[in-house]
Amino acid sequence: MREEEKVMNELQAATRKMRESFSGFSSSLSTHQSRVSWALHHVLVLKREAQNLAPVVQRDKQLALQVEQLHQQLEQNVTAANASLARACSAGGSRDAVYVVPLQVRRSFPL
């Protein structure tokens, strides 16, 4: 009987140690699970924000394209004005005179 009690006590002590060990593991697992849950929530929030920004980014791309087209048109108009002024001056005109220069005006997009 004595030997059986000793074995039983050892088994109970081992069981307590295992419970403590698993309790720590369970706590660690729970902490990790909450971190993963928070990270997933954060990813979903970022995804929703990115989806909300997509139309704004597309609009800004279109606006940048329109600005680039206007810039090119302005450069062409300045070049045409300089050429017209140079022709007028070489034909004997005064640099201070008023000249009519045909300019391109394209309104293919809303402003």
What does each of the 111 residues of the chain score in pLDDT, given as a tens digit?
788 888 888 989 998 888 888 877 888 888 899 999 999 999 999 999 999 999 999 999 999 999 999 999 888 888 888 888 788 777 776 666 666 666 666 666 555
Tokens of 3: 């030997």
CA dihedral 77, 74, 107, 87 (to 10 degrees): 0
Residue owning tokens 């293919």: 108
CA 51 to chain centre: 10
- pTM metric for this prediction: 0.49
